[in-house]
C-alpha cells in the first residue's frame, strides 16, 4: 500500500468514525443516566435523515434551513419517545426498558416502511460538498473534511454543555445517582428529557451527515450504524462521552484499515467490530475509558 492510499483510507476511516462517534454519544448519554440500551437510537438516525430529505425535496427548503429544522424536529421526536415509552417504565427492571426500546425500534422501522416506502431514496448533497480535493495522489470530496469538522464542532458544543453549564452539571449528577439528585431539588424528569433531546439531536445530525456521505436513505438505514455505534460506545466504556468518541473513531479507522490491508478478509468485515469488542472486553471489561468516572454523564 502506498502512502497516498494510506492517507485516503485514513481520511475515509476518520470520517466514518466521526459518524459512529456522533451516534455513539447518544447511546452513551442515555445509558449513563438511565442504564438503558436505547436500541431505537439507530432509527432516530434514520428519522433525522428522512426529515431533512423531505424538508429539501417536498418543502423546497434550502439545506441550511432544512438540516437544522430536521435536527430540532427529531430532537422533539426523541423527547416524545422518552415520555411515552421510557418514562412509565423507569422504576421497572431494566429489561422492560430494553424491550420497550426494541418495540419502539420496530415501530419506527415499520412506520417508515409504510409512510416513506421501503425503496431507497436519493439524498441530494448540497453542491459545495461535491468538490474534489486532491491530496497528493489521493482524492477526497469536500464532504469528507466537512463531516469531520462538523462532528468536531458538535463534540465541542456537547462537551461545553456537559462540563460548563448548569444543565450539564445536573446531568452529571444524575448519572451518579438519580434519587439523590432529585432530593437536591433538581427536576430529574426535565434533565432526563433534556439528555434525550440532546442525544436525539446528535443522532439526527449523525443521520444527515450519514446521508451526505452515503446519499441513499431507506427505513432500515439506521440499523447497521446504530449497532456499530453501540459497539463504539461499549468500546469506549459505555456511559462515558469521551470514550464514545474515541470508540467511534477507533472502530471507523480499524474497519477500513483491516479491509484495506487484507482485502481477502472483506467478507468477515462485520465480524471484526465484534472480535475487537470481545477481545477488548476480556482484557478490560469496562471499555477503554470505563473506569474514569470524571466525565460520566
Q: Rounded to an integer, what distance in angstroms lies between the CA atom of residue 17 and that of residue 28? A: 16
**Is residue 98 within the footprint of another protein (CB under 8 A)?**
yes
Distance in Å, CB of 128 to another protein, minimum: 15
To another protein, the closest distance from the beta carbon of 270 in angstroms equals 5
Residue 88 binding another protein, by CB under 8 A: yes
Q: Is 118 in the site for another protein (CB under 8 A)?
A: yes
Asked whether position 122 contacts another protein by CB under 8 A, the answer is: yes
Which residues inside 13-42 make contact with another protein, applying CB under 8 A? 16, 31, 35, 37, 39
C-alpha cell at 202: 446528535
Among 266, 291, 292, 293, binds another protein (CB under 8 A): 266
Whichever of 76 and 118 has its CB closer to another protein, that residue is: 118
Please answer whether residues 43 and 226 qualify as being in contact, where contact means their C-beta atoms are separated by less than 8 angstroms. yes
Segment near another protein (CB under 8 A); pick from 58-66, 70-78, 84-92, 151-159 = 84-92
Q: Choose between 1 and 156: whose C-beta lies nearer to another protein.
A: 1
Q: How far apart are CA 165 and CA 8, in angstroms?
A: 38
Identify residues 203-232 at the interface with another protein (CB under 8 A).
213-216, 218-221, 223-224, 227, 230-231
Q: What are phi and psi of 19, to 5 degrees?
A: -70, -45
Cell numbers 412509565 correspond to 88
Q: Which stretch binds another protein (CB under 8 A): 62-70, 150-158, 201-209, 252-260?
A: 252-260
CA atoms within 13 A on the CB side of 30: 32
Give yes or no for residue 106 binding another protein (CB under 8 A): yes
Member of 121, 147, 151, 288 binding another protein (CB under 8 A): 121
Residue choice 65, 80, 103, 149 for contact with another protein (CB under 8 A): 103
Instruction: Cite the DSSP H helix spans in the chain.
Output: 3-34, 41-57, 63-81, 94-115, 143-164, 166-176, 178-183, 188-213, 223-236, 241-261, 269-283
Q: Which of 253, 224, 214, 249 is nearest to 129 (CA)?
A: 214
Q: What is the DSSP letter of 296?
A: B
Cβ-based neighbours of 194, under 8 Å, separated by 6 or more: 167, 171
Per CB under 8 A, which of residues 139..178 are in contact with another protein? 139-141
Q: How far is the CB of 265 from another protein (least distance, A)?
A: 9
Report if residue 95 touches another protein, rule: CB under 8 A. yes
Q: 148 and 131 in contact (C-beta within 8 Å)?
A: no
274 binds another protein (CB under 8 A): yes
Contact indicator for 51, 242 with CB cutoff of 8 Å:
no
Nearer Cβ to another protein (76/117) = 117
Cα–Cα nearest to 18, from 273, 206, 161: 206
Q: Among 277, 288, 289, 297, which residue interacts with another protein (rule: CB under 8 A)? A: 277
Pairing relationship of beta strands 132-135 and 138-141 according to DSSP bridges: antiparallel
Q: Which of residues 123-142 bind another protein (CB under 8 A)?
A: 132, 139-141
Query: Segment near another protein (CB under 8 A), from 71-79, 99-107, 165-173, 181-189?
Result: 99-107
Amino acid at each position: 500500500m502506498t502512502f497516498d492510499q494510506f492517507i485516503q483510507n485514513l481520511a475515509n476511516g476518520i470520517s466514518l468514525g466521526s459518524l459512529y462517534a456522533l451516534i455513539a454519544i447518544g447511546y452513551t448519554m442515555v445509558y449513563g443516566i438511565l442504564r438503558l440500551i436505547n436500541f431505537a437510537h439507530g432509527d432516530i438516525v434514520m428519522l433525522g435523515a428522512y426529515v431533512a430529505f423531505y424538508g429539501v425535496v417536498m418543502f423546497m427548503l434550502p439545506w441550511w434551513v432544512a438540516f437544522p429544522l430536521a435536527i430540532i424536529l427529531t430532537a422533539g421526536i426523541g423527547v416524545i419517545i422518552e415520555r411515552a415509552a421510557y418514562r412509565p417504565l423507569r422504576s421497572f427492571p431494566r429489561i422492560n426498558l430494553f424491550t420497550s426500546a426494541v418495540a419502539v425500534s420496530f415501530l419506527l422501522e415499520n412506520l417508515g416502511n409504510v409512510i416513506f416506502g421501503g425503496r431507497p431514496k436519493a439524498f441530494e448533497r448540497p453542491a459545495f460538498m461535491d468538490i474534489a480535493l486532491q491530496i497528493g495522489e489521493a482524492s477526497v470530496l469536500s464532504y469528507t473534511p466537512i463531516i469531520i469538522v462538523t462532528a468536531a464542532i458538535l463534540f465541542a458544543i456537547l462537551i461545553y454543555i456537559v462540563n460548563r453549564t448548569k444543565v450539564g452539571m445536573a446531568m452529571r449528577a444524575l448519572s451518579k445517582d438519580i434519587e439523590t439528585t432529585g432530593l437536591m431539588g433538581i427536576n430529574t424528569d426535565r434533565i432526563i428529557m433534556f439528555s434525550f433531546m440532546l442525544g436525539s439531536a446528535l443522532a439526527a445530525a449523525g443521520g444527515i451527515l450519514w446521508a451526505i456521505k452515503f446519499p441513499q436513505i431507506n427505513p432500515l438505514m439506521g440499523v447497521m450504524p446504530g449497532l456499530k455505534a453501540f459497539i463504539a460506545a461499549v468500546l469506549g466504556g459505555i456511559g462515558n462521552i469521551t470514550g464514545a468518541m474515541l470508540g467511534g473513531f477507533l472502530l471507523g479507522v480499524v474497519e477500513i484499515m483491516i479491509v484495506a490491508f487484507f482485502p481477502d478478509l472483506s467478507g468477515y468485515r462485520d465480524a471484526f467490530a465484534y472480535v475487537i469488542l470481545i477481545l477488548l472486553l476480556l482484557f478490560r471489561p469496562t471499555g477503554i475509558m470505563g473506569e474514569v468516572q470524571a466525565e460520566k454523564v
